[in-house]
Amino acid sequence: MALDKTRSHTRGLDPAEGYSRNRRYVQDARDCTVGPMPVQTFLNAFLPSVPVDKEKEVLSSKGAFKEVPSSGSKPSDIYEPLLVALNRSAKLRSCAPGLVFENTSINSAEPHTPGFMKPHICCYTRRNLDSVHDTPASSRAELGYVELFIEVKPDVALDFFVDPSPETTREDCDTHDFFTRFQNEELKLRAERVFGQHITYAMEIQARQHRVCLFSISMSGSRARILRWDRSGIIITQSFDILTHPELLSEFLARFAFASDHQRGHDMSIGMATQKEEVLFCDVVTKYIKDQLDLVDDALTDAVAKHYQQGCVFAVRMFVDDSSATPSSSTPVADRYLVFRPITSPLRLLGRATCASAICHLLGGLLWSK
């Protein structure tokens, strides 16, 4: 369940509304997109350099993506050879050490239907790979493990953005319209659908994970743009050709691979609950539902399952005033709460990412948080 900006739509990512929802996202994106940002400036601003002692673990960028065609008739013409290049390794070196890239677009019951579609390529850590492989095609749980994703268009003509020419002055760049003005209506609709779907993936991943920001890559033929998403909008790089400038994509992936979880965008104030805390959470939720709804047996089990699932309870630190201190000397102290998945998430691209969840204090009380 999710809420839109008017709080009137609670159907979340309903597949029946996929196309209209994507069009709405594209319109919203026009008000909160910044670009094009020079690629090297983007890398220096948002990701740390590769540690000197780790450089030996990274493959050379020379010819790294030479098997990727400049264009194709369908996305798989691009992402299949790209996937091979991303996972290539030699003599303990790889493109992104510790990370694995997989074709997630085929792991769907309806791979061409909005609401069921998945990104062409998703990046995971090796430690999460078993959990990803355990998810059935009908599930979207693997999006809860995504580190970054890549969405592919077969041709540069479907790029939703246009960079100013190299001869453009700084003053003209400030007034440049970053959004492509399509002359062909059919091409415009295709590009809008693809970009809208890209936005949908980013929003769903951020709803499934505790994140501060998220990175993704948009491919148009052999040309790439890197995107950074947060609740204030999207920052997008200039377009670059991975055939003539493979070092740019290689540097991004290497930096990303050696970045910390925080630098990759994860919210580090939230972590997994301990086994003891999870038992406490389950007991408190069960007692609360039983008292409120007077349920027993299977009915109680089904009701509890909406708020508790084994292995999916998180612990979050919240700062509260010390109740034992006087008002004049009170200082915030960190308190620990347990939380399960939210029952509502935002459908807006921009603004507060308000989620509503039942939370449990370690002393045993059940509260409501948003």
Q: Cβ contacts of residue 303 below 8 Å, gap of 6+?
A: 289, 293, 295
Find the farthest-apart pair of alpha carbons in the chain and give their distance in angstroms, rounded.
73
Do 146 and 218 reside in the same domain of the chain? yes
What is the share, in percent, of the chain residues with pLDDT greater than 90? 44
Across 11-25, 58-72, 125-139, 240-254, least confident range? 11-25
Residues 224 and 308 placed together within one structural domain of the fold: no
In a domain, 282, yes or no: yes
pLDDT digits (tens, 9 = 90+) for 113-127: 877 899 999 999 999
Residues 277 and 173 placed together within one structural domain of the fold: no
Task: Please list the residues that pair with 341 across neighbouring strands.
Answer: none
Given 258, 293, 328, the domain boundary residue is 258
d(CA 58, CA 50) in angstroms, rounded, equals 9
User: 147 pLDDT band (50/70/90 cuts)?
Assistant: very high
Average pLDDT of the residues in 94-101: 96
In a domain, 182, yes or no: yes
Task: Report how many domains make up the chain.
Answer: 2
Q: How confident is the model at residue 6 (pLDDT cuts 50, 70, 90)?
A: very low
**Confidence check: pLDDT of 331 > 90:** no
Query: How high is the pLDDT of residue 11?
Result: 47
Alpha-carbon distance 362 to 337, whole Å?
6
Give the range of the structural domain holding residue 32, as residue numbers without chain letter.
Answer: 2-258
Determine the Cα–Cα distance for residues 370 and 359; give it in Å rounded to an integer: 10
Task: Choose the final residue of a domain: 234, 258, 282.
Answer: 258
How far apart CA 204 and CA 149 sit, in angstroms, is 12
**Same domain (yes/no): 234, 341:** no
Task: Specify whether 362 is located in the same domain as 230.
Answer: no
CA dihedral 300, 301, 305, 311 (to 10 degrees): 140
Amino acid at position 356, single letter: A
Both 94 and 184 in one domain: the answer is yes
- What's the pLDDT band for 54 if we cut at 50, 70, 90? very high
In this prediction, residue 131 has a pLDDT band, given cuts at 50, 70 and 90, of confident
The reply to whether 248 and 276 lie within a common domain is no
Is 30 inside any structural domain?
yes
Q: What is the pLDDT of residue 5?
A: 46
User: Does residue 265 lie in a domain region?
Assistant: no
Q: What digits encode the pLDDT tens for the residues 224-264?
A: 999 999 988 999 999 999 999 999 999 999 999 999 999 99
**Position 314 in a domain:** yes
Residue 264 lies in a domain: no
Residues 340 and 298 in one domain: yes
Has residue 263 been placed in a domain?
no
pTM (two decimals): 0.86
Last residue of a domain, one of 213, 228, 258: 258
130 and 241 both lie in a single domain: yes
